[in-house]
């Protein structure tokens, strides 16, 4: 029987609903405010499985170790990981395949993350002089860095422009955290930066690729104007959408949009070669489109499960359970439940990211997933992406809940940048693949996601 959708006292903003974030887990009124007024207000550091944290400053002593892969800390602000790697590749004059990293980091933050560069010399990397980033060589090793080596991310975040008194801020924060504890944890949604907040486009491009529409995917990438983009960019995209005049588009387009320039020039030289235009984008970025669409579907699956009142701390018949390792990270071992059972003892509820190998849930949750896929007009086998097979994705399972680890007591203080307002500083750790903004949205309950800095 298909479950009944419940009403919720706090409705998610429209921009969040577009990326599958349709509900909150808590009903406590938010503290409001804004994140990222300064880039330093949103700081992220990677933590590897061995406990090492990406440093912000060079360690003392020479670079040791053996092997051809140089492990480094990449410290950046004002650009995402893919853009930082693009600049590194250009400065070093090497193929991007020689650089490996464990995770993607947001542009609007100060972040420190690990990467390896094959065949690099420490003295060259440490003196590149690229604006907005610097590289700290750490040691040589025999293998490139892989995603499986990342354990967690540590966040140090300041929420500003809060209009509440100090006691009210702490009271609402405590109430939200108590509600989440009673809920079983934080819903493990994919956060805003997975899709782009200023221009939530990645999953839309991914959807068209999965459906086999390369032409539509390219048109979307070039013409879709996001709510957070500048007026010149919006004008250029709108002009192209109305006219498909690529020369005029290029004359209007700001210089910083590197990929749009390259794709438009290619289509001028080879009209109709949409496959070739899309393949100008790095493989990592093209794969991100498909993965973002899978993330959108996961968000919708999880939103509907919450909305229908199906538990997240308990498995029902047909649900997936996934085993966690000793660090609390998901493994590849999963079972499908045949009778209602509590989670725990290293087993947690998991929902699928659809793919050509990943079996959907059964039972009530399975009905939710099948209905959403029918609405989207896609099937699991479509993730073979036959129009561009290098983007094929088998799918996987993702825990439905995650438990934030608060690293220190929250601090409320007078906001020196905004007199008469308060600021809230939060320091916490999340397992790899989980998003700080998902916790922040529960705490803040923003009415306008863009103005709130998401």
Residues labelled as active-site residues: 106
Task: Report d(CA 316, CA 205) in Å as an integer.
Answer: 34
| Nearest CA among 307, 366, 319 for reference residue 343 | 319
Q: How many Cβ atoms sit within 10 Å of the Cβ of residue 90?
A: 11
What CA dihedral angle connects 379, 12, 351 and 181, to 10 degrees?
180
Strands (E), 84-228: 99-101, 110-118, 133-141, 150-162, 186-187
Do residues 365 and 300 make contact, with C-beta atoms less than 8 angstroms apart?
no
Maximum Cα interatomic distance, the chain, rounded to a whole number of Å: 65
Q: How far apart are CA 177 and CA 290, in angstroms?
A: 33
Comparing CA positions, the residue from 213, 238, 233 lying closest to residue 223 is: 238
For 314-346, b/e burial (b = at least 16 CB within 10 A) is ebbbbbbbbebeeeebbeeebeebeeeeebeee
Query: What is residue 41's three-state secondary structure?
Result: helix
Kindly provide the b/e burial profile for residues 229-249, where b requires at least 16 CB atoms within 10 angstroms of the residue's own CB. beeebeebbebbeeeeebeeb
- The number of C-alpha atoms within 13 Å of 421 and in the hemisphere containing its C-beta is 17
Write the DSSP symbol of residue 381.
G
CA distance 65 to 174: 46
Distance CA 151, CA 325 (A): 11
β-partners of residue 220 are none
Distance between CA atoms of 217 and 69, rounded to whole angstroms?
A: 36
Structure letter (DSSP) for residue 96: G
CA dihedral 126, 127, 131, 132 (to 10 degrees): 20
Report the C-alpha gap between 66 and 139 in whole angstroms.
8
């Amino acid at each position: 029987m298909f479950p009944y959708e419940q009403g919720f006292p706090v409705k998610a903003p429209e921009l969040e609903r577009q990326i599958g974030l349709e509900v909150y887990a808590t009903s406590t009124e938010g503290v409001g405010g804004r994140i990222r007024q300064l880039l330093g207000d949103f700081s992220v550091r990677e933590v590897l499985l061995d406990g090492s944290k990406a440093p912000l400053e060079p360690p003392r002593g020479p670079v040791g170790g053996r092997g051809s892969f140089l492990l480094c800390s990449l410290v950046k602000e004002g650009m995402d990981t893919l853009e930082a790697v693009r600049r590194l590749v250009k400065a070093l004059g090497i193929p991007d395949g020689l650089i490996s990293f464990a995770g993607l980091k947001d542009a609007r933050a100060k972040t420190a993350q690990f990467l390896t560069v094959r065949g690099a010399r420490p003295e060259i990397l440490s003196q590149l002089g690229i604006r907005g980033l610097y590289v700290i060589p750490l040691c040589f090793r025999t293998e490139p860095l892989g995603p499986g080596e990342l354990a967690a991310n540590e966040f140090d975040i300041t929420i500003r422009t809060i209009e509440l008194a100090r006691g009210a801020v702490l009271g609402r924060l405590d109430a939200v955290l108590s509600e989440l504890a009673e809920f079983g944890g934080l819903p493990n949604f994919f956060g805003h930066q997975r899709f782009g907040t200023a221009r939530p486009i990645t999953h839309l491009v991914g959807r068209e690729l999965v459906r086999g529409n390369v032409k539509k995917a390219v048109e979307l990438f070039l013409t879709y104007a996001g709510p957070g983009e500048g007026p010149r960019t919006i004008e250029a995209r709108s002009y192209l959408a109305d006219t498909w005049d690529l020369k005029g588009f290029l004359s209007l387009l700001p210089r910083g949009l590197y990929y749009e320039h390259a794709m438009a020039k290619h289509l001028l030289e080879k009209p109709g070669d949409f496959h070739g235009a899309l393949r100008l984008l790095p493989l990592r970025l093209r794969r991100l489109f498909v993965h973002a669409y899978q993330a959108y579907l996961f968000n919708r699956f999880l939103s509907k499960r919450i909305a229908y009142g199906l538990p997240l701390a308990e498995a029902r018949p047909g649900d997936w359970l996934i085993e966690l390792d000793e660090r609390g990270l998901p493994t590849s071992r999963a079972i499908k439940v045949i009778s209602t059972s509590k989670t725990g003892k290293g087993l947690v509820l998991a929902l699928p990211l659809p793919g050509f190998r990943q079996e959907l849930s059964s039972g009530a949750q399975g009905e939710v997933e099948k209905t959403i896929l029918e609405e989207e007009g896609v099937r699991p086998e479509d993730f073979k992406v036959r129009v561009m097979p290098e983007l094929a994705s088998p799918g996987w399972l993702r825990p439905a809940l995650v438990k934030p680890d608060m690293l220190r007591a929250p601090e409320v203080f007078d906001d020196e940048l905004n007199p008469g307002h308060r600021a809230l500083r939060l320091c916490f750790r999340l397992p790899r693949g989980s998003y700080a903004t998902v916790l922040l949205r529960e705490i803040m309950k923003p009415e306008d996601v863009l103005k709130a800095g998401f």
